[in-house]
Amino acid sequence: MPQGKKATIKDVAREAKVSISVVSYVLNSSTEKSISPATRDRVMEAAKRLQYVPNRAASGMRRKHSMVIGVVSYWELDVLVFTDMMKGITRKSSAANYRILFCHRESKQDDVSYLQYCQDGSIDGIVFIAPYESLGLIDEAFHIRQMKEAKVPFVVLNGSTHEDGVSYINVDYCGSTYLATSYLIGKGHKDIAYVAPLELHYTELERRLQGYQDAMSNSRLPVRCHDVKELPDCLHGLKAVVTNKSDTAHSVLQAAHKLGIDVPRELAVIAANTEAYSSYLFPPLSTVRIPAERMGELAVETLLEQLTGAAEPKLIMPPCALEIRQTC
Amino acid sequence: MPQGKKATIKDVAREAKVSISVVSYVLNSSTEKSISPATRDRVMEAAKRLQYVPNRAASGMRRKHSMVIGVVSYWELDVLVFTDMMKGITRKSSAANYRILFCHRESKQDDVSYLQYCQDGSIDGIVFIAPYESLGLIDEAFHIRQMKEAKVPFVVLNGSTHEDGVSYINVDYCGSTYLATSYLIGKGHKDIAYVAPLELHYTELERRLQGYQDAMSNSRLPVRCHDVKELPDCLHGLKAVVTNKSDTAHSVLQAAHKLGIDVPRELAVIAANTEAYSSYLFPPLSTVRIPAERMGELAVETLLEQLTGAAEPKLIMPPCALEIRQTC
DNA sequence: CTGTTAGCGCGTTCAC
DNA sequence: GTGAACGCGCTAACAG
C-alpha cells in the first residue's frame, strides 16, 4: 500500500530484507555481482509492490551523467526543417534512453547561458542548432568557441563555420540546387534561370548558387541568374526556374500568375528547400527536401559517440531528395 | 585557473576560507542568515574565480524539486497551434527559471511511461498537450486519471474531457466559428454555409458547429451545413462559407477554382483555425486565430501555481481573434 | 550576529 | 551478500 511519499531504495531494502546495495545490484542487473535468484526475486517484488522508481538525480550524481541532451536552437518553431530535425533528435535520443531538454533561444547575440545547463549537471551534451547565417542572429563561431572552452560535448547542426575538432551535421546546400537543376535538365529544359536574393553573400546562398552553376556548366548550358527584386519582369521568355527557397518560389508563382503565365505548362518552377506550406501553394510546389530528420538522428548519434569515448570530429552532409509536385 | 574538473562548493569554501554552509548561504542570498559583507565578497569572488556553478541535481535533491517542467505532447511538431503553444510555454517557464523537458509521444494509446519522469525526480510537473480527440490517438481520460493517481502536478492543454479537480486550458472551439460567422454577417452576408466533416462526432467538431449555429440564429439567418464530401457541387449558389479548419478551406478553395468561382468576389471563405500555410494558400486564407501562445503561457502559470501551494482547478478558454487576409 | 558542525537526501560501488 | 564511503549541495541546530 503506497503512502503519500515515494519509495526509496531504503524502503525496498527493508521490505526485501536485504541491504541497499543488493537492491542496486539487482535493479541495475549488474553483471559483476551474482545475486541468488531467491533474493533477486524478493527484491524485484518488493520494488514492484512499493512502486519504486530510482531517483534519477541521485543516480546521475554518482554516475556522472544526467542522461539528458540539451537542444539549443534559434529557429522559429514552425519551420519544417527545424521540426524535422526535432523528430530525428527525439527519436534517436529516446531510443538511447536519453531525454531532451529543450532550450529555445531568441536572438541574444552572445548569450551563452545555456552552458550552465551543462556545468550544473542538467545535461550531458548539446545539440546546437545554428540559425541560418543569413539571419544574422548569432556569431556562430563565438558560441562554438565558448562551448569548446567550457569542455562541453556538443554537435553543430546546420553550421556555417569550420572550427577544428568540432562535429558538424550540415545541409548540403550545393547539392540541393544541383539536384533541382539536374532534374529540370533531365526533363529536357535548357533555359533554366536561378532566382534568389543575389546581393546577399552568405555561405548558404553562395553554395546554392554554386550548385545551380555546376549543374548547368556540367551540361554546357548557359547560366542565368535573377535577383528576386527583378520579379515579375525577369520571367518573360523564361521556361524554367530554380529558386533557393520555397519563399522565393512563392514570389515567382505570384509573379507568374500576375503575368498570366501558366505553371507548369509555360514555366517550370522548383525550389531548393521544402517548407511546411510548399504543398499548399498554387500549384503545389515541387521542391528538394533537405533530410533534416536524418540530420537530427545523425546529430544525436554523433553526440552519443562523443559521450561514450572520444570520437573523431565529423562533417556529415546527407544528400537531399526530390519532392516533385505540380510545378515542374 | 580552472583545472579540468568542475569546482564544487567545497572548493569555493576552501578558496574563500569559510565553511561550505556559508557559501550556500551567500549564493542563495538566504534571508535568514546575515553574513558580513566582507566574507560575502570573499565568497562571491572565489565562486567567480573558480567559475563555480551549483550542481542542480544535488540541490534539487535537497530541495525536493528539479525546476524542470515536462511537456508531453502527441502533436505533430509542425502544426502551428502546437508551435505557438510551445512558444508560450518556453517563454513563461524560462521567465520563472524553469526548464523544459520535452517528451514527444507517438501514438501509443495507453503508454504513460512519462509518469516516470516525475517519479524519478526529473520533472516537477507536466503540461499535458492532448491531441485532437478526433484523431483517436489516446484515451485522454485514462491518461488524466493516471496522472491524478500518481499525484503528479499537471495541467491539460487542449483537453476534451472534464475530470474533477483538473485544470484545463482549452480551445474555445465554439467561439472560433462564432467569431468567423459573425464577421461574415457583419459584412452583410446572409447565405452563409458551414463546411466541415459532419458525420464525425467529437466535442471539437460539435462545438465548432455550435458556434456557427449560434451566430446564425442570433441574427435569424438560416443554417446550412455541408459535409466536405459534398464538395465541389455544394458550392453552387453559395455566397459565403465558414469551415472548421484551414484544411477544409483549402478543399473549398480548390473546388471553387475548379468550378471557376472567384474568391472572394463570388465566394467568401473563412476558416476557424490558422495553420502555418494559411497565408500561403491562393488566395491567402482569412482565418480565426486560436490564441495558442497565450494558452501555453497560461498552462505554465497554472502549473506553477499548483507547484507553489495548492491552487483551485481552473478551466480557461482564452478568446480567439480574426486574421483577415484575402478570402473574405 | 557570524559562522561551524553534522547530517540529510539517494543511489553507486568498493572492500570485506 | 553486507557495510560504508562517496558524490554534491542544503540546512537545522549549535557554538563563538
Helix, strand, coil abundance in chain A, percent, nearest 5: 45, 15, 40
Question: Which residues are within 8 A (CB) of A6 and not within 5 positions of it... i.e. 6 or more apart?
Answer: A53, B119
DSSP per-residue codes, B153-168: -EEEES-----TT-EE
Q: What is the model's pLDDT at position A107?
A: 67
Check: pTM over 0.85? Answer yes or no.
yes
- Per residue in B132-170, pLDDT tens? 888 888 999 999 999 999 989 999 999 999 999 999 999
Residue A53 pLDDT > 80: yes
Which of A53, A66, A281 comes nearest B116 by C-beta? A53
- Contact between A192 and A257 (Cβ < 8 Å): no
- Contact between A269 and A286 (Cβ < 8 Å): yes
Is the Cβ atom of A62 within 7 Å of strand D at any atom?
yes
User: pLDDT 10s per residue in chain B (328 long)?
Assistant: 334 567 889 889 988 999 888 999 899 877 777 788 888 889 999 999 988 889 998 988 888 889 999 999 999 888 889 999 999 999 999 999 899 999 988 767 789 989 999 989 999 999 999 998 888 889 999 999 999 999 899 999 999 999 999 999 999 999 999 999 999 999 999 999 999 999 888 888 999 999 999 999 999 999 999 999 999 999 998 999 999 999 999 999 999 999 999 999 999 999 999 999 999 999 999 999 999 999 999 999 999 999 987 789 999 999 999 999 999 9
Which of A77, A102, A120 comes nearest B56 by C-beta? A120
What is the distance between the alpha carbons of residues B94 and A114, in angstroms, rounded to a whole number? 12
For the segment A210-235, the average pLDDT, to the nearest whole number, is: 96
Q: Which nt is closest to the CA of A60, judged by C1'?
A: C11
Q: What is the model's pLDDT at position B1?
A: 32
What is the distance between the alpha carbons of residues B185 and B204, in angstroms, rounded to a whole number? 23
Residue A159 pLDDT > 60: yes
What is the distance between the alpha carbons of residues A125 and A128, in angstroms, rounded to a whole number? 9
Q: Which of the four pLDDT bands, split at 50, 70 and 90, describes residue A37?
A: confident
How many C-beta atoms surround the C-beta of residue B218 within 10 A? Answer: 12
What is the distance between the alpha carbons of residues B217 and B227, in angstroms, rounded to a whole number? 20
For the segment A148-159, the average pLDDT, to the nearest whole number, is: 94
Q: What is the model's pLDDT at position A320?
A: 97
Q: What is the model's pLDDT at position A63?
A: 86
Residue A232 pLDDT > 80: yes
Show residues of chain B in contact with A99, CB under 8 Å.
Answer: 101, 103, 117, 122
Q: What is the model's pLDDT at position A105?
A: 86
Distance of CA A29 to the CA centre of its chain: 35
Q: What is the model's pLDDT at position A106?
A: 79
C-alpha cell, B214 = 449560434
Q: What is the model's pLDDT at position A2?
A: 38
Q: Which amino acid is at B310?
A: A
Show residues of chain A in contact with B80, CB under 8 Å.
Answer: 78
Share of chain A above pLDDT 70, in %: 97
Burial of A292 (0-12, 13-18, 19+ CB in 10 A): buried
- Which residue is closest, via its CA, to the C1' of D10? B62
Omega before B264 cis (within 30°)?
yes
Nearest to A103 by CA among B98, B60, B75: B98
Ranking A19-33, A47-61, A272-286, B277-291 by mean pLDDT, the lowest is A19-33
By DSSP bridging, strand A99-104 and strand B99-104 are: antiparallel
DSSP reduced 3-state for A190: coil
Q: What is the model's pLDDT at position A34?
A: 76
Is the Cβ atom of B119 within 7 Å of strand D at any atom?
no
What is the distance between the alpha carbons of residues B248 and B195, in angstroms, rounded to a whole number? 7
- Per residue in A21-32, pLDDT tens? 899 989 887 776
Is the Cβ atom of B20 within 7 Å of strand C at any atom?
yes
Residue A102 DSSP one-character state:
E
What is the distance between the alpha carbons of residues A93 and A35, in angstroms, rounded to a whole number? 32
DSSP reduced 3-state for A82: helix
- Contact between A241 and A270 (Cβ < 8 Å): yes
Is the Cβ atom of A33 within 7 Å of strand D at any atom?
yes
Nucleotides of D under 7 A from a protein CB: 1-4, 6-13
Residue A200 pLDDT > 90: no
Q: What is the model's pLDDT at position A305?
A: 94
Q: What is the model's pLDDT at position A1?
A: 33
By DSSP bridging, strand B154-157 and strand B225-227 are: unpaired
- Per residue in B165-185, pLDDT tens? 999 999 999 999 999 999 999
Show residues of chain B in contact with A122, CB under 8 Å.
Answer: 56-57, 68, 99
C-alpha cell, B23 = 557559501
Q: What is the model's pLDDT at position B63?
A: 86
Which of B99, B104, B250 comes nearest A122 by C-beta? B99
Residue A109 pLDDT > 50: yes
Share of chain A above pLDDT 90, in %: 72
Is the Cβ atom of A310 within 7 Å of strand D at any atom?
no
What is the distance between the alpha carbons of residues B73 and B157, in angstroms, rounded to a whole number? 9
